[in-house]
Amino acid sequence: MKRTHNNGELRLSDVSKEVSLIGWVAKKRNLGNLVFIDLRDRYGYTQLVFDSSFEEITNKIKNEYVLNVKGIVVKRKDANSNLATGEIEVNVTFVNIVNTSELTPFIIADKTDALEDTRLKYRYLDLRRPVMQENLITRHKITKSMRNYLDNLDFIEIETPLLTKATPEGARDYLVPSRINAGKFYALPQSPQLFKQLLMISGLERYYQIARCFRDEDLRSDRQPDFTQLDIETSFMSESEIMDLVEGLFLNILKDVKGYDLKLPLRKFTYKEVMDTYGSDKPDTRLGFELQDVSEIFANNNSDLLKDTAADGTFKAIVGKGLASDLSRKDIDALTLEVKKNGGSFLTFGKVSDNTFTGALTKLVSKEEESELFSKLNLEENDIVFLSAHLSWEKVCKAMGALRNELARRFVSVDKSDYDMLWVVDFPLFEYDEEKGTYTSTHHPFTRPYDEDIKYLDTDPSKVRAHHYDLVMNGYELGSGSLRIYNEAMQKKVFEIIGLSDEEIENQFGFFINAFKYGTPPHGGVAFGLDRIALILTESETIRDVIAFPKNASAVCPMSEAPSLASAKQLKELHIKIEKE
Ligand code: ASP
């Protein structure tokens, strides 16, 4: 089946040409003696005009039929400026119905009110919508740009196995039973972390991979059980050299895909700074509502609510400029809930009216504290100030960070085609997990501590900072990376601190630590979530819109109905018995 042009191609300069086109019927309009059909393919739409000699066949044609037509390009009387081909139409001289279509469960158009599960069930039709095709094309351009950039810098793309041993990235593993090795399981990789480090030990020096990763965790709008990341590892590079490499990568991606000029170098914030100011380790710095430290003002507060925290705790305030009259009691209750949901112990507020507070805060502050707050926070008529406090600095920062995001969601609209990019560095190597009663790795256990902090590993691990860097864009963590430990004893020590016994270290990582004995080069790397990058650059609402065949929020594919039951025969071969709950 030959076509001379695609459906997005014909222009005024093609008038009088005889052309042949193929595509799907997007719309049919019957105007008595003339029938107009918009023919669609990946490239666009072309308007076809059928005269009455085609009546019998045009009566049969319905939406989503596949047509092959021949015709003559003519100038339209009234051009349609919304369409690339809007200045011409094609007077049809021949038509062949290549295939018919049933009525589709939703209309194939950019705007849709179909439920997401219906779109996922008929994903092949959803992907016929031009906006979805555009998303996948943008995603392709992103990976192409990544590959070009890294290839120019001598990086090589190497695949690592999917059926493998557990790699700890903080989630549960997806396990695959082995038929041949009864009772044993492969783990799908949470990332290629161990393999890319082993490739450095092999001397490959500059590796990358567009890698599939699998993490069994509760889904959110920016998470999927299987997802893709650009995974990079290098030997002999310093932290700042790796960061420069990454900045060049994003300069190229934004230029190639969006024609956007990213200003370099990117800003660098320490973990302490972003938490103090934005209450998040992945802040969008454009939103306003910054957290302000007012601990000093409250150091001697005597109120029942605050006195326990007053001397040693952290007090954080957020000012809503001119918003007092926009926030009802009900709004404030909802904001309080948000703060509590995110680990805060309380939220109180004061509205500014006639140079004094009204609201819950009046009962908690003395006249002197009130006037100090007014001058420190530059409070004016109709401002609202929110206050929370906690003995844990981190907890109050996180809780107020959640409040900041919620206020911004209600009151700030950001330009999605602009990019707020920054680095966060100086993370702690460990976080204390109260439930488990042990330290866990902030990044992962292969992250190298700062040399000058190694002395705290035995005495106070919470003081050890890590060579760990996160790249943040528009409030999303785009990627994380670190310099790695390359010394066997240090690697064992870190495993011990996160609570692994000698036996567990040997069983889970014996092969990995053993490799460290054979001339391990200093190395480091980073990985970026491709789905998130595509989400931001396509300005989509969810990462499901930039993945061809995603799962829904229950980790189910409504189209194939995976996951599904296995047959008794398969289970027997896999030596698995299912117990009914
Ligand atoms: N493996 C890490 C991750 O998936 C990235 C890295 O350290 O390179 O987050």
pLDDT number for residue 304: 86
- Cα 41 from Cα 21, distance rounded (Å): 10
pLDDT number for residue 346: 93
How many angstroms separate the alpha carbon of residue 485 from the centre of ligand 1? Answer: 14
Work out the pLDDT band at 221, boundaries 50, 70, 90: low
Residues 6+ apart with CB under 8 A from 259: none
How many angstroms separate the alpha carbon of residue 479 from the centre of ligand 1? Answer: 8
Q: Tell me yes or no: is domain 287-411 CATH 3.10.620.30.
A: no
The Cβ of residue 340 has, within 10 Å, a number of other Cβ atoms equal to 15
Mean pLDDT (whole number) for 218-237: 90
Greatest pairwise CA separation for the chain in angstroms: 92
How many angstroms separate the alpha carbon of residue 191 from the centre of ligand 1? Answer: 7
CB 377 within 8 A of CB 254: no
Which of these ranges, 17-21, 279-283, 307-311, 558-562, has the smallest mean pLDDT?
307-311
Residues 6+ apart with CB under 8 A from 330: none
Amino acid (one-letter) located at 558: P
Atom 1, ligand 1: residue with shortest CA distance: 193
pTM of the model: 0.93
- What does the mean pLDDT of the chain come to? 95
Among 196, 200, 242, 480, residue to substitute to test ligand 1 (most atoms within 8 Å of Cβ): 480
Ligand 1 nearest-atom number relative to CA 231: 8
Does residue 96 surpass a pLDDT of 90? yes
Q: What angle do CA 193, 487, 160 make, to 5 degrees?
A: 20
What does DSSP say about strands 356-358 and 348-353: parallel, antiparallel, or unpaired? antiparallel
Ligand 1 nearest-atom number relative to CA 190: 4
How many angstroms separate the alpha carbon of residue 174 from the centre of ligand 1? Answer: 18
Amino acid (one-letter) located at 118: T
Q: How is 417-479 classified by DSSP, letter by letter? A: TS--EEEEE--BSEEEETTTTEEEESS-TTBPBPGGGTTHHHH-GGG-BBSEEEEEETTEEEE
Does residue 400 surpass a pLDDT of 90? yes
The per-residue pLDDT for range 452-465, each reduced to its tens digit, is 999 999 999 999 99
Among 443, 446, 485, residue to substitute to test ligand 1 (most atoms within 8 Å of Cβ): 443
CB 101 within 8 A of CB 67: no
Q: Topology of 12-99 in CATH? A: OB fold (Dihydrolipoamide Acetyltransferase, E2P) (2.40.50)
Angle, helices 239-258/530-538, rounded to nearest 10 degrees: 40
Ligand 1 site residues (CB inside 6 A) read 169, 191, 193, 480-482, 525-527
CATH superfamily of 132-269+421-568: Bira Bifunctional Protein; Domain 2 (3.30.930.10)
Amino acid (one-letter) located at 92: V
How many angstroms separate the alpha carbon of residue 303 from the centre of ligand 1? Answer: 46
How many angstroms separate the alpha carbon of residue 121 from the centre of ligand 1? Answer: 32
pLDDT number for residue 581: 67
- Cα 375 from Cα 502, distance rounded (Å): 57
CB 428 within 8 A of CB 447: no
Positive or negative torsion for Cα 367, 371, 373, 378: positive
What is the chain's length? 581
Among 196, 206, 231, residue to substitute to test ligand 1 (most atoms within 8 Å of Cβ): 231
Atom 4, ligand 1: residue with shortest CA distance: 191
Does residue 516 surpass a pLDDT of 80? yes
Residue at token pair 């200093």: 522
How many angstroms separate the alpha carbon of residue 527 from the centre of ligand 1? Answer: 5
* Domain residue ranges in the chain: 12-99, 132-269+421-568, 287-411
Mean pLDDT (whole number) for 341-369: 93
**How far, CA to CA in Å, does 336 sit from each of 138, 307, 333, 507?**
40, 20, 5, 46
